[in-house]
Amino acid sequence: MTEHPLVALARLTIATYLNEGRVIPPPKEPTPEMRAKAGVFVSLHRYNALRGCIGTFVPTTENVAKEIIQNAVSASTDDPRFPPMTAEELNDLEISVDVLSAPEPIKSVADLDAKRFGVIVKAGPRRGLLLPDLEGVDTPEQQIEICRQKGGIGKNEPADLFRFEVKRYH
């Protein structure tokens, strides 16, 4: 099975960075998806276990290609939950790229669906984000609880809720 061009870009980025220590430039002929401007998450799994996941919920560069390159390097080397990856891990690496819609404020948990929407919980400068459709996360309440933990936001502390959708590429 051929990888989607967004996933192939993430894989090439990680392989080049781990093997040569350099960051690749964006493709000279980017696909239409790569030219768009959006937040992007790069998720890495090895043997069905999370190995790294870093992203941007709003765009921080001029296009998706540059977001992928930036976040692929970070997911493989800077996720604080894991040691930096080694080149030996590349053969067993499963990569997914999520391109996010703009976050929209919501009024209540009733506006969420754990399979369809990702969630951002924000209290002042603290925020926690969770992508949608994750294994073992079946309800919006679970999403919000995880977001609060990630953001260091107390269970009963007032917070704003946002939702977003993703296009997930494998």
Q: For position 1, what pLDDT does the model report?
A: 67
Q: For position 13, what pLDDT does the model report?
A: 98
Same domain, 89 and 12: yes
SS3 145: helix
Could you tell me the two tokens for 81?
């939950």
Parent domain of 12: 5-100
Same domain, 73 and 117: no
Q: What CATH number is given to the structural domain containing 93?
A: 3.30.700.20
DSSP state of 46: E
pLDDT digits (tens, 9 = 90+) for 49-104: 999 999 999 999 999 999 999 999 999 999 999 999 999 999 999 999 999 999 99
Q: Which pTM does this prediction carry? A: 0.94
Q: For position 33, what pLDDT does the model report?
A: 96
Same domain, 18 and 93: yes
Strands of 40-46's sheet in order across: 49-55, 40-46, 93-100, 166-169
Same domain, 30 and 73: yes
* Among the listed residues 79, 76, 77, 57, the one whose alpha carbon sits nearest the alpha carbon of residue 67: 57
Tell which of 80, 100, 120 closes a domain.
100
Residue 94: CB atoms within 10 Å: 15
Same domain, 111 and 54: no
pLDDT digits (tens, 9 = 90+) for 107-143: 999 999 999 999 999 999 999 999 999 999 999 999 9
Q: How many domains, the chain?
A: 2
